[in-house]
Amino acid sequence: MKLLIADRDETERYGMRWLVTSSSLPFSSVLLSSTLKETLSMIESERPHVIILELDMMNENSFSEMKWRLADYVIKVVATTTEATFARAMEAIELQVEKLLMKPLSPMQLQSILKKSLLDIESQRSKESSVEKLDDHHFLYHALFVKDSPALNENLTLFLVQPEYSRGLKSLHHSLQSYPFQYPVTVLPLSDRIICLYPSSDRNLVIDEARRFLRDWHDSSKGSIGISLPATALNDNSIYHQYQDVKKGVELFFYKGFRHVMALEEPVNWRYLDPFLSPSEQVEWEDILKKKDQNRMKDWMYGSFLHVIPPYPDPGLLKTRLTSILAQVRRFMKTHHLDEDKRLEERYQGVFESILHHRLLYKIVQDMLLFMSLVVEEVEEKEIDHYDVVESCLGYMKTHFANPSLSLVEVARSVNRNPSYISTLIKDRKDRSYREILLHIRMNEAKVLLASSKEPIQQIAEHVGFSQANHFSRKFKEATGMSPSTYRNQKLRS
């Protein structure tokens, strides 16, 4: 796309050109004009897509000519002026400019307006050419999936855009169609990913363009994506073989995570991995689960799955291996009748679905460890005879409430449990949170001390776990509706 900068000030002209050429704005050429006559001539001869026009350059006699030339030859107009007047604003409206900017110009604002103009142009082009592309797309899809399709006349570099979650595919498709690539890109959506065909065999150019889109997408969207290009050493550059190669390349996001462009030198070759646990590994997992050893469990999962190095195993085989471990956990659940617990059964199904469908290995491992930890803790809970974990926690809190730094972590440690598990268990059993119960214990003790002793409020606050009397007084009033002093006086009178 072409950009024309029309401004009488030489410093302004060259400053704007430097700003555009040094940024990622994909203008193929940036033209300059310094006079009205030169500007009118270049509009007609060069037909720029976007013009930055200094309104002060025109006079009353030339306005009409400028108006019709802009309407005939230019798609987007950005106007600048040094005069913040109603007259200049009306001129901008009549010329239907994208934005009227006051000098001195803000570089960030100018970049933003130019970027929006480019996006609007690409969006309009996409709408106008959508019908014409239907037949072409049919041919390209055929070339994508059929090995012996006729060769295409032009050099195309394929890259695959993979979202982490398929629910963002529609938005991603729209963004790719409207994005201002340096050259028009053909976008071919599939069921869970999008193929892009870039009209150039310049690999470095395509990588730069892919990285630019990736950066802009993550600047404006919450969903993660990754982009994969064919390997440099790929022998056959037909669309079919490029697609077969990037399908393997995109699987590496499973190990490396999204948010980057995968541009490998050599095609991906998976190393073999036995998808099933060996007899000795099965025995080891039985022992880990029997002893409910969560540290060994974590070390085994991290060492086997998160510390792998290239060449990587086929993700499909690795997922099968993960289901083999989950099968061990399933047998452990059945042994202890945990499969009868509807809540645990739903969690188990969720972890199984995560293994099958999630596109990031570390998240699958995280889901499995959280689930296995829950299963182990449920078994431990069942094995406690005549011993209630919650009551034990409450007993510890009643004994140590005077400690201002008493925390849920410390209470959970006293019963050898996970803090988040204890927090959930207390809430379920007592219908109140850990903080609410601890405050209740402290307030009850404070009432006893206020009614039975003449100690200063500061000392009573310290006795019940508050390091500051003001904080204690505020909490006491919230709990009882009166200040500690009022409560004490009321009890003394009664």
CB 159 within 8 A of CB 227: yes
- d(CA 258, CA 267) in angstroms, rounded, equals 19
Q: Is 416 helix (H, G, I), strand (E, B) or coil?
A: coil
Question: And the tokens for 72?
Answer: 């005939």
- Considering only 38-52, 132-146, 269-283, which range has the smallest mean pLDDT? 132-146
Angle at 104 between CA 100 and CA 110, to 5 degrees: 50
β 157-163/225-229 pair status: antiparallel
Helices (H), ranges, 201-338: 203-220, 239-251, 253-256, 279-290, 294-301, 315-335
Write the CB contacts of 365 (distance below 8 Å, at least 6 apart in sequence).
Answer: 301, 302, 305, 306
Order of strands, sheet of 99-102, starting from the edge strand that comes earlier in the sequence: 29-33, 2-6, 50-54, 76-81, 99-102
3-state SS of the chain: helix, strand, coil percent to 5?
60, 10, 30
Report the 3 state secondary structure along 328-342: HHHHHHHHCCHHHCH
Sign of CA dihedral 119, 124, 125, 130: positive
Residue 87: per-residue pLDDT: 87
Task: Give the count of beta carbons closer than 10 Å to the beta carbon of residue 41.
Answer: 13
Which residues are bridge partners to 228 per DSSP? 160, 262
- d(CA 64, CA 77) in angstroms, rounded, equals 15
Residue 386: pLDDT over 50:
no
The pTM assigned to this predicted structure is 0.53
DSSP letter assigned to residue 24:
S
Q: Return mean pLDDT, the chain.
A: 90
Residue 56: pLDDT over 50:
yes
Residue 383: pLDDT over 70:
no
Residue 235: per-residue pLDDT: 78
Residue 153: pLDDT over 60:
no
- d(CA 306, CA 319) in angstroms, rounded, equals 13
Residue range 415-430: mean pLDDT, rounded: 87
CA distances for 483 relative to 314, 448, 479, angstroms = 67, 14, 10
- Considering only 72-76, 124-128, 344-348, which range has the smallest mean pLDDT? 124-128
Residue 127: per-residue pLDDT: 59
Residue range 329-337: mean pLDDT, rounded: 91
Residue 154: pLDDT over 70:
no
CB 214 within 8 A of CB 261: yes
Is the model more confident about 54 or about 142?
A: 54
Residue 414: per-residue pLDDT: 92
Distance, first Cα to last Cα, the chain: 89
Residue 387: per-residue pLDDT: 52
Q: Which helix (H) or strand (E) holds 32?
A: strand 29-33
Least Cα distance to 292 among 231, 336, 344 occurs for 336
Residue 391: per-residue pLDDT: 87
CA distances for 208 relative to 203, 425, 444, angstroms = 9, 52, 67
Q: How confident is the model at residue 416 (pLDDT cuts 50, 70, 90)?
A: confident
Residue 385: per-residue pLDDT: 42
CA distances for 205 relative to 118, 201, 209, 211, 382, angstroms = 19, 8, 6, 10, 62
CA distances for 258 relative to 163, 181, 215, 251, 359, angstroms = 8, 21, 12, 10, 9
pLDDT in tens, 128-140: 554 444 446 778 8
pLDDT in tens, 78-118: 999 998 888 888 999 999 999 999 999 988 899 999 998 98
DSSP letter assigned to residue 312:
P
Question: And the tokens for 475?
Answer: 């909490």
Phi and psi at residue 411, to the nearest 5°? -65, -45
pLDDT in tens, 210-253: 999 999 999 888 789 999 999 988 878 889 999 999 999 999 99
- d(CA 2, CA 433) in angstroms, rounded, equals 63
Question: What percentage of the chain reaches a pLDDT higher than 90?
Answer: 67
Residue 482: per-residue pLDDT: 94
pLDDT in tens, 356-380: 999 999 999 999 999 999 999 888 8
Phi and psi at residue 420, to the nearest 5°? -65, -35
